[in-house]
Homo-oligomer: A and B are copies of this chain.
Amino acid sequence: MRIALDAMGGDHGSDQLIAGALEAVCAFGHQVILVGDQQILQRALEQQAKIHLANCSGDCACARDLDAHLSRISIVHTTQVVGMEESPLDGIRKKKDSSIRVAFQLLHQQRADAVVSAGNSGATLAAAIKEVGRLPGIARPGIAGIFPTLKQPLVMMDVGANVDCRPQHLYQFAIMATAFSKALFGIDQPKVGLLSIGEEGGKGNALVKSTHEILRQSSLNYLGNVEGRDVFRGDVDVMVCDGFVGNVCLKLSEGLAEALVSMLREELTKSLKSKVGYLLTRKAYANVKKRTDYAEYGGGPLLGLNGTGIICHGRSNAKAIKNAIRVAAELVANGMNQRIVEMLGSSTVQMDGQEGE
């Protein structure tokens, strides 16, 4: 499996991205194509390879044959970068040789099987649509977010690509997220919920009420409206919402978790007794952190593309990049896009005439 990595994006520069690529090569045997400035990336790769070799434990290929191992990583040179704060559409239009556009060109040319990017999210989406286009029948590609719950992870879609939606868009999000849930988590009939502000079908805003009627008639495993309170219970596998609400949910959750940790840290360091107590409970905290760590899945997949792409958090660490590469490869291997096309094809729900390609 060949994964193109935009090695110029993200908040932390290329080092964490390349460290993640090395870990993915080591753990999964995939090939990684680093896309970006040849000179910068070559130097960073040499440095990170040394660090990786020094830290790499166990029976992996690095120790036996670093050169063979490194031969799985190649560099494709580009001269431009779309910055994190840059206007996505402008950046993509003007910078034809940007790392993110070239990464998706490799996908389009079948020189890569998937793309991973921790750069400007809007630019990643725009480059993807420009270079590989949408799957047939998909009105709007979107971004899925993976939320930890008390049970299995939940896939929420859309979490930011489409802020003003029609019911048909939400219906397609439900199909795409269902296909994703099947392909990544192996769930046979993912349970679908519609994010609303009351459990009865009649509750919600105009968009949600109309979407409820479409989902009810669909062949999806639709359970009905689900309230915000129940997102983290894990009673559904897929949660459908528009990209404005989904993005607010994603960021509110991050912010609340950070605020609670910050409050707890402040309280725990107030007395010697609680400091000692904290030392004894550190493992419990570490386990909760692991259970809620965004890096476990690396990022949000772009769904609805004629190809496979993962958008990672700008501040992704090596572990997040490694896992994003793993997830991207699994989505390709498990034929997620084929599943989406089949589900759309067998859908009995009539789409609005304006909604097509």
Question: Bound complex: CA of A314 vs CA of B279, how far in Å?
Answer: 38
A295 CB, nearest partner CB in chain B, Å: 17
- Tell me whether A267 and B287 are in contact in the complex, defined as CB-CB below 8 angstroms, given that A250-B228, A277-B278, A278-B277 are known contacts: yes
Chain B residues with CB under 8 Å of A292's CB are 260, 263
Chain B CB within 8 A of A53 CB: no
Chain B CB within 8 A of A54 CB: no
* Contact call A253/B251, Cβ cutoff below 8 A: no
Question: Bound complex: CA of A258 vs CA of B247, how far in Å?
Answer: 21
- Render A273-304 as a binary contact track against B, CB cut-off 8 A, 1 for contact: 11011111101110110011000000000000
CB < 8 Å neighbour of A288 from B206, B243, B251, B267: B267
* Contact call A283/B274, Cβ cutoff below 8 A: yes
CB < 8 Å neighbour of A164 from B149, B206, B257: B206
Chain B residues with CB under 8 Å of A271's CB are 283
Chain B residues with CB under 8 Å of A204's CB are 163, 244
* Contact call A291/B277, Cβ cutoff below 8 A: no
- Tell me whether A247 and B150 are in contact in the complex, defined as CB-CB below 8 angstroms, given that A204-B163, A257-B256, A257-B260 are known contacts: no
Chain B CB within 8 A of A349 CB: no
A259 CB, nearest partner CB in chain B, Å: 4
Task: Give the interface segment out of A102-110, A133-141, A229-237.
Answer: A229-237
- Render A237-252 as a binary contact track against B, CB cut-off 8 A, 1 for contact: 0000011110111111
Chain B CB within 8 A of A197 CB: yes
Chain B CB within 8 A of A268 CB: yes
Question: Bound complex: CA of A54 vs CA of B25, how far in Å?
Answer: 69
Chain B CB within 8 A of A186 CB: no
Chain B CB within 8 A of A195 CB: yes
- Tell me whether A252 and B255 are in contact in the complex, defined as CB-CB below 8 angstroms, given that A204-B163, A206-B164 are known contacts: no
* Contact call B268/A255, Cβ cutoff below 8 A: no
Chain B residues with CB under 8 Å of A257's CB are 256, 260
Question: Bound complex: CA of A252 vs CA of B247, how far in Å?
Answer: 13
Question: Bound complex: CA of A253 vs CA of B251, how far in Å?
Answer: 11
A209 CB, nearest partner CB in chain B, Å: 9
- Tell me whether A280 and B291 are in contact in the complex, defined as CB-CB below 8 angstroms, given that A195-B248, A253-B256, A255-B230 are known contacts: no
Question: Bound complex: CA of A160 vs CA of B260, how far in Å?
Answer: 24
A202 CB, nearest partner CB in chain B, Å: 9
Interface residues in chain A, defined as those with a beta carbon under 8 Å from any beta carbon in chain B: 149-150, 160, 163-164, 195, 197, 204-206, 208, 227-233, 242-245, 247-260, 262-264, 267-268, 270-271, 273-274, 276-281, 283-285, 287-288, 291-292
Q: Name 15 A/B residue pairs within 8 A (Cβ), A-sorted.
A: A163-B204, A163-B206, A164-B206, A204-B244, A205-B242, A248-B248, A252-B252, A256-B256, A257-B260, A263-B292, A267-B284, A267-B285, A267-B288, A277-B284, A278-B281
